[in-house]
Each structure stands twice: as structure tokens, then as C-alpha cells.
Amino acid sequence: MSDHKTAIVTGASRGIGRATALELARAGYYIIINFKSNEEAARETLTLVQSAGGDGEISQFDVADNAQTKDAVKAITERHKNIQVLINNAGINADGLFMLMGEEEWDSVIDTSLKGFYNITKPVLREMVRKKCGSIVSVSSLSALMPNRGQANYAAAKAGIIAASRSLAAEVARFGVRVNVVAPGLIETDMIKDAPVAEIKKIIPMARLGKPEEVAGVIRFLCSGDASYITGQVIGINGGIC
Ligand code: NAD
């Protein structure tokens, strides 16, 4: 069993998750790169982590599936005894007007982001509380805080993550575990490839989209000793939208 400081990043095969895996690898963490289906992309993340001087492994599981996630965390914690960081990054969107939104569009988004938060945080937290050390950062969204047409499912899932994280932070602060949230605005990833970018830029004071690395840097900070007195907080990363 290894005792290197270890970080689990969900949905790390691309986008913000991949950038976070790299950033945490540079900070010295051994990275568990979770992916749901795209093994090739997850392996690319691992190669990038290794090229940056770090190390890690890929781990396939669907965060929306409780049994699968529990089994995966059990296997991870049997191999790595020092899980210090969990990044709840996996998420999907299925935008559409609420009046036309099917049950599948509602459930899949809630199950990935919010049920996924429960499915993985619970077994990982048990290990962190036992060791009295840990940092959990979850990726919410500006959509949780600001109304956006067509995103009732996504906003509900992401607002749920904020509420759950703040409650959890209050529960586990005394055990040395910190729980925080980042709420990105529009970030250049595959998730927003169909978004009306030109229109959106008009409401962003910095007049540009964010980069995955600009989210990853804040996540790394929240996991670091420099953030040792920060818990239960939501940090906006959105180019100045208030
Ligand atoms: P992305 O689509 O590139 O990445 C999402 C990742 O989550 C992918 O690797 C995907 O395979 C993974 N994933 C999806 N369902 C999963 C599941 N059930 N189990 C395991 N992994 C799963 O998009 P991104 O922009 O990098 O998104 C990362 C997070 O950031 C998401 O939670 C998203 O909601 C959030 N976010 C993104 C933006 C943005 O503008 N891009 C803004 C705010 C919040």
C-alpha cells in the first residue's frame, strides 16, 4: 500500500478535470484520474501528469452509480492510504426549457452532479475523518447563483452542491476536513461548445471566457496549506460577473 499524498479527481479525462489533475500533480499529489467511458482521453491525462513530473493512475467508474463508485473507492483506499484531496468535478448538462424538459434530462443531470457528490464524498470522507485531514472541492457553477433560461436541471444540481457542501463543512470542520466549492462562469471546454459565445461575452466584464487552468489554480489553492482557514466557501471564477 502506498502512502504518497493522493488526490481523486472525478471526470478528469478532459476540460477542467484534466487541468485540475495536472495542477495537483505539479503540487505533488499522486492523481487518481476518474473517467466514465473515454479511457483513451483519461490515458492522455495520465501522460500529461507524468510529463509534468507527477504520477497517478486511471480509474473507471460512473459517479452517478452508487454501487460502482463505492466499490471503486474501496479499491482505491485499499491501495492508497493517504487520500488527502477529493475534487468533485464530473458533471453534465442537458439544457432545455423546463416546460419541455423530459424526466431523463432532469434525472441524468441531478444524478451526475448531486447524487454523484453523495456517492463519492461519503466513502472518501470516512477515510479523511479517520485521519483528521482532508480537502474536498466541488465544481458548482455560476448558473446556481444567477438565473439562466434553459438550465433548471443544471442550476438545481449545482445549487444543491453548494448547499450540501456548506452543511458538510460545518459537520466536519472539527475533524480537520475542509469542504469548499468553486463556481465557474463560462470556461472554454467541450461543455460549452454550442453556447452563444459572442452574446455571452457581452455580459462578462472581462469580455472573455475563462480557461480550465484558471479554475484549476483556484482549486489547487483551496487544497493547499495557504487555504487552511477556509471552509464552507463558494469562490466565483467568472471574469467579474456579480
Ligand atoms: P467537460 O464536459 O469537458 O467535462 C466533464 C467531465 O465529466 C468529462 O470528463 C466527463 O466524461 C465527466 N463525466 C460526466 N459524467 C460522468 C460520470 N457520470 N462519471 C464520471 N465522469 C463523468 O466539461 P467541463 O467544463 O470540464 O466540466 C467540468 C465541471 O465544471 C462540470 O461539473 C461542469 O458542470 C462544471 N462547469 C463548467 C463550466 C464551463 O463553462 N465549462 C462552467 C461552470 C461549471
Please compute the mean of the pLDDT values over residues 33-57 and round it to a whole number. Answer: 98
- Summarize the confidence of residues 186-212 as an average pLDDT: 94
Q: In this structure, what are the phi and psi dihedrals at residue 166, rounded to the nearest 5 degrees?
A: -65, -40
**pLDDT at residue 2 is higher than 90:** no
CA of 90 to the centre of ligand 1 (A): 5
CATH number for position 41? 3.40.50.720
Place of cell 484549476: 216
What pLDDT does residue 188 have? 97
d(CA 167, CA 148) in angstroms, rounded, equals: 25
Kindly give the number of the ligand 1 atom that is closest to the alpha carbon of 143: 43
Whose CA is closest to 89, among 173, 9, 4, 189?
A: 9
Beta bridge mates, 96: none
1 lies in some domain: no
Give the distance, in angstroms, between the CA of residue 53 and the centroid of all CA atoms in the same chain. Answer: 23
Nearest CA among 3, 10, 28, 11 for reference residue 225:
28
In the prediction, which pLDDT does 37 show?
Answer: 97
pLDDT at 219: 99
- The confidence band for 182, taking pLDDT boundaries of 50, 70 and 90, is very high
pLDDT at 201: 93
Instruction: For the chain, report the end-to-end CA distance as a whole number of angstroms.
Output: 46
pTM for the whole thing? Answer: 0.98
Q: Is residue 99 part of a domain?
A: yes
Confirm whether 19 is domain-assigned.
yes
Contact assessment for residue 93 and residue 112, using Cβ atoms and an 8 Å cutoff: no
Catalytic pick from 29, 30, 154, 229? 154
> Quick one: pLDDT band at residue 33, thresholds 50, 70, 90?
very high
Q: Determine the Cα–Cα distance for residues 208 and 238; give it in Å rounded to an integer.
A: 9
In total, the chain counts a number of residues equal to: 242
Quote the ligand 1 centre to 174 CA distance (angstroms). 31
Residue 20 lies in a domain: yes
Question: Is any ligand 1 atom within 6 A of the Cβ of residue 90?
Answer: yes
Q: 119-154 pLDDT, tens per residue?
A: 999 999 999 999 999 999 999 999 999 999 999 999
User: How high does pLDDT run on average in the chain?
Assistant: 97
Whole-angstrom CA distances from 131 to 135, 169, 171, 177, 181 are 12, 16, 16, 9, 22
Per residue in 89-125, pLDDT tens?
999 999 999 999 999 999 999 999 999 999 999 999 9
User: Does 43 map to a domain?
Assistant: yes
Of 18, 69, 187, which is best to mutate to test ligand 1, by the most ligand atoms within 8 angstroms of its C-beta?
Answer: 187
Known catalytic residue: 154? yes
Residue 242 inside a domain? The answer is no
- 211 in a domain, yes or no? yes
Q: Note down the domain range covering 55.
A: 6-237
Query: Please, is 73 exposed, middle or buried when counting C-beta atoms within 10 Å of its C-beta (0-12, 13-18, 19+)?
Result: buried
Q: What is the mean pLDDT of residues 205-217?
A: 98
The total number of structural domains that make up the chain: 1
